[in-house]
Amino acid sequence: MHIYWWRDPQGRILGFVLNDARLLSDLINRLPDGGEGDSQLGRAEIRLLDSHDETLYSWGAYRGEGPALRSIGLSHPLGSWKLEYHAPELQQVSSGGWLGSLVSLLLLATGLGSLGYLLDREHRRELRLAQQRVNFVNQVSHELKTPLTNVRLYAEMLQERLDDEGTEPTVRRYLGVIAGESQRLSRLIDNVLSFSRLQRQQLRLTPEPGNPDEQVERILQTFAPLLLQRGIDLSFDAGIDRSLRYDPAALEQILNNLLSNCEKYAPDSGLLRIRSWLDGAMLCIEVQDRGPGIDAGERERIFEPFYRSSNRITDGVAGTGIGLGLARDLARAHGGDLSLEPGGSGACFRIRLETTR
């Protein structure tokens, strides 16, 4: 396996795995062909060996088993490979022939060295491009955030201003769609921005005093119409009801991700139960749906970035695959965790956040 890696200025290790078959075929295409009648080599052979001393390619007619008469290591980044010169006996090679072989050996080593340099340069270029792409997505998300917040705010203000009797139901419905969709987009953008901050290790938590039950209640109110449309009823057992120091933005983002997953993956599942309680200094919230649940083999994988399971329910549902991983990272940064609880029908996620004095 060829893994190229390096440490960036922030101390992160970045790397990629080269496709071995492709590397070898590109390499062999650049080398002289290994025909039996290679006149320069006479009855000798040059072998290209990998780090396990396995022959990757050879030139020349000689097929002896003995040790190599000469061996040259390749330069970075193929430093673990070498070239070996095999011949029946050194004396049998005429001095002209031997010199010719040495020259071709050196030429080969230089050729492979430049190939290594080209690979290295390509790898740096790819990483630069990847970095630019990440920056671009980050920038666009930032630019989208302000106008979207305005759309959402004005739609919500308009909803509040419309009096129930005098307003046409369709107007209410249209406004509901505008508010709902802009909330969904805001959540997506928040996820992208937090994900990028986490990657750059720039995510900062800011604990402040607040009543988590009241906050959960507010979040549930925002989600209730959307969930109701999808055949899901909410019930909330509030068991904290006091002020604690925690980061409300982190809790909101974790809950947003869990609730929007219920909306996406557990439609028409009836009751969605949310409970909150205190376990020592740990603020605990459980979100239990009655949807299809998560297969045993995927219980940990769903927390991996970009992982999306594929089945009858999830196929065709839009998503980025970063929601659960991000929610878990946020909970861990908050001295707690996000876990998928075993047993029961449907999926049951438990959030634990450490509260401070």
CB of 187 to ligand ADP, least distance (A): 11
CB of 339 to ligand ADP, least distance (A): 13
- Give backbone dihedrals phi and psi of 18, rounded to 5 degrees, phi first: -80, 145
Q: Is residue 321 at the binding interface for ligand ADP, with CB under 6 A as the rule?
A: yes
Neighbours of 268 (CB within 10 A): 9
Among 50, 309, 333, 337, binds ligand ADP (CB under 6 A): 309
Among 93, 105, 272, 302, binds ligand ADP (CB under 6 A): 302
H-run or E-run covering 143:
helix 95-161
Given the complex with ligand ADP, which of 85 and 265 has the nearer CB atom? 265
49 HSE (CA, 13 A, CB side):
17
Closest residue to ligand ADP using C-beta atoms = 319
Q: Which residue is associated with the tokens 């999306």?
A: 308
Among 244, 347, 351, 353, binds ligand ADP (CB under 6 A): 347
List the one residue out of 172, 160, 176, 170 whose CA is nearest residue 229. Answer: 176
CB of 37 to ligand ADP, least distance (A): 59
The two structure tokens encoding residue 103: 């020259």
Q: Is residue 314 at the binding interface for ligand ADP, with CB under 6 A as the rule?
A: yes
Among 324, 331, 338, 353, binds ligand ADP (CB under 6 A): 324
Amino acid at 227: L
**Binding segment (CB under 6 A) for ligand ADP, from list 91-99, 114-122, 202-210, 322-330:** 322-330
How far apart, in whole angstroms, are the C-alpha atoms of residue 90 and residue 101? Answer: 12
**Angle, alpha carbons 235-228-180 (nearest 5°):** 115
The two structure tokens encoding residue 126: 């790819």
261-300 footprint of ligand ADP as x/- string (CB under 6 A) = xx--xx----------------------x-xx-x------
Which residues, 6 or more positions from 287, have their beta carbon under 8 angstroms from its beta carbon? 255, 258, 259, 262, 272, 273, 274, 348, 349, 350, 351
Among 41, 323, 351, 353, binds ligand ADP (CB under 6 A): 323
List the one residue out of 188, 175, 204, 181 whose CA is nearest residue 144. Answer: 188
**Binding segment (CB under 6 A) for ligand ADP, from list 98-106, 108-116, 199-207, 315-323:** 315-323
CB of 250 to ligand ADP, least distance (A): 16
CB of 321 to ligand ADP, least distance (A): 4
CB of 300 to ligand ADP, least distance (A): 11
Amino acid at 102: L
Within residues 212-271, the interface with ligand ADP by CB under 6 A covers: 257, 261-262, 265-266
Torsion of CA 148, 152, 153, 157, to 10 degrees: 150
Residue 214 forms beta bridges with which residues? none
Q: Is residue 190 at the binding interface for ligand ADP, with CB under 6 A as the rule?
A: no
How far apart, in whole angstroms, are the C-alpha atoms of residue 205 and residue 113? Answer: 48
List the one residue out of 65, 60, 66 whose CA is nearest residue 44. Answer: 60
Instruction: List, in sequence order, every beta strand (DSSP E) within 250-308.
Output: 270-279, 282-288
Among 320, 341, 344, 345, binds ligand ADP (CB under 6 A): 320
Given the complex with ligand ADP, which of 145 and 264 has the nearer CB atom? 264
CB of 315 to ligand ADP, least distance (A): 9
CB of 285 to ligand ADP, least distance (A): 15
Q: How many residues does the chain have?
A: 357
- Interaction site with ligand ADP (CB under 6 A): 257, 261-262, 265-266, 289, 291-292, 294, 302, 308-309, 314, 319-325, 347
